[in-house]
Amino acid sequence: MKRKNQTLRAVSLCFALFIVASTGFAQDKSDFKTTVINKKVKDFPERYSRETPLEAYLSVSYITANGKQSMWRPYSTYRFRHSFAGEEAPDETVSDASRDEIFNREIMECIVYRDSAAAVITTWDEDSLYLIRYLSREDGLWLNAGENMGRGFAQTREDAIGSLPVQASFIPMIEIVRQTPADTANFVNYLKTNGREPHRYIIDKLAKHRIVIYGEFHRRKVSWNLLKQVISEPEFAETTGAVFFELPSHMQDDLDRFYAQEELDTGILLDIFGSEQINGWHDKDEFDFMVALWELNKGLSADKKIKVVLTDNQAPWGSMKTAEDFRNRPLKDRNTNMADVIEQTMKTTAGSRSGLFIVGYMHAYRSSRVAGMFSTPNGLEAAPTAGAQLVGRFAEGDVFGIFPHCMSGSNRGERGGKIRNGLFDYVFGVNGNVPVAFDLAGSPFGREPFDASLEVKFNPRIGSYGENYDGYIFFGKLEDEEKGNPLYELFTDGYVEEVKRRASISGMREDRIWYDVPLKELTKEVILESMRKEARGKMWPEAE
């Protein structure tokens, strides 16, 4: 099982990169060189080499078969070697059956594209499934660049050929992302000259722009504390008429009822948080911020009240009783749903005041050349991010996007080191690690390649920080930041049974609902204990 998890992680990493950069690459047959192998892995001697694509493939096969966890990183592309253990990692036990399956894979072909990317196609099982091992030539060595699978040899081969130019396009970006400017004086000087207090910065942008998109790294206490500071300013209600959240839009009537109540009824809000995704949304600090908005609204006159709007497209669990209901649920790209709700609200009911859209920062980047991720139901084409769509739907200058300083990471929770190899953190340190906000346009920060997302940081189409966001906020030294607070109140015995019901009708694998806990073992106590453990410690332990 552990070996398969390792393989699947490589598959997912590779696939995640393909889905954001798989179009627009012209193909010339002369760019491809194909060598027919038709031998099994066990027909080759066991040795470890990165000199040729075939030797690198065989090395990765033996690394997997022998459980040599310490060798994954030096034998893998720079793009995602962070996801593998370091050289101190102990060997992993691999069953005889798993080893035999690897050794008996038949290597069908090795396809090389422009001597920079390669694909080795092998058999996998009796059901016409084939594996593609991608390899990337970096610093003269051939390295593991992930796996994918296909059904039928012809289709698998076509998929490999179509993906190789994409793989090759990442290689020049590796060197660009690796490099950072040696001269930091202009960064420091820019901060000293143009830096603002973050809460005043946001207030000023709300006064000047129709929509301010506040990109957030989820479940971050310092971020919600800053937003509480923003809404406590008298100017906020004067300039801002709507606040948008990344929570299920089909629960809008319930949210309206929550804000219309004369007495605070947090049970309504808990139901809304419980409807986000299959197992709810557990951010207590966001929950408390929405309560703070309720308190703010109670003291405002009718013409100054803030409209609070939900924008996300999530499954309407309350109206689905069977697996058929789940299959027939309405499907829509989440980014498009967010943009639609915000556009309609701002153009029909928000009046002259601005809107504040609080959303995960990977829904907020502006590049329309890289589609949004993890937001599109199967069978639909991925749309641009909500940020990119809003920029296209409103007048120039109407939409202002803000990026939050954080560590480079992925949607799956992996961390890839400090942004720009620690350059920004160094500059903030020279500036005293005081919270600061600033415009990216015309700044040295804005010219740096966007590398905050592991899914897109090596994509040549993503562009720079300044091409994707307008503003930047630094909250404080990453090493000192504490984790946010979990929403323990959500998890009652009844809600856990509801989560199990959702898992049943959606067909989700039972160990994917909560921290790999089998569904039959899932209880309120198990969930709460895991949340307590997860809540301990620093937000960014990798930064230390």
Q: Is the pTM of this model over 0.85?
A: yes
CB atoms within 10 A of CB 92: 15
Is 414 exposed, middle or buried, given 0-12, 13-18 or 19+ CB atoms closer than 10 A?
Answer: middle
Q: What is the predicted pLDDT for the residue at 26?
A: 55
Q: What is the predicted pLDDT for the residue at 510?
A: 61
Domains, the chain, ordered by start: 2-178 (no CATH), 199-410 (3.40.50), 488-543 (no CATH)
Let me know the angle formed at the C-alpha of 493 by 487 and 499, rounded to the nearest 5 degrees.
75
- C-alpha distances in Å from residue 307, one per residue of 171, 211, 310: 47, 14, 10
The DSSP code for 26 is -
Torsion region of 351: left, alpha or beta (phi above 0 gives left; psi -120 to 50 gives alpha)? left
Burial 482-511 (b: 16+ CB within 10 A, else e): ebbbbbeebbeeebbebbeebbebbeeebe
Of 229, 38, 159, 117, nearest to 458 (Cα)? 117
Residue labelled with tokens 């080795």: 120
3-state secondary structure of 384: coil
Write the pLDDT tens digit of every residue in 490-515: 999 999 999 999 999 998 766 667 77
Q: How far apart are CA 369 and CA 417, in angstroms?
A: 25
Please give the full DSSP string across 131-155, using - where no structure is assigned: EEEEEEEETTEEEEEEEEEEESHHH
- C-alpha distances in Å from residue 464, one per residue of 366, 457, 459, 526: 10, 10, 11, 43
Are 365 and 385 within 8 A, CB to CB?
yes
Q: What is the predicted pLDDT for the residue at 20?
A: 37
The DSSP code for 31 is G
Q: How far apart are CA 245 and CA 174, in angstroms?
A: 35
Averaged pLDDT, groups of 10, the chain, 544 residues long: 33 37 58 96 96 98 95 94 85 94 96 97 87 97 95 94 95 94 96 98 98 96 98 96 98 98 97 95 97 97 95 96 94 97 91 95 95 91 97 97 95 88 97 98 97 94 97 97 96 94 85 74 91 92 85
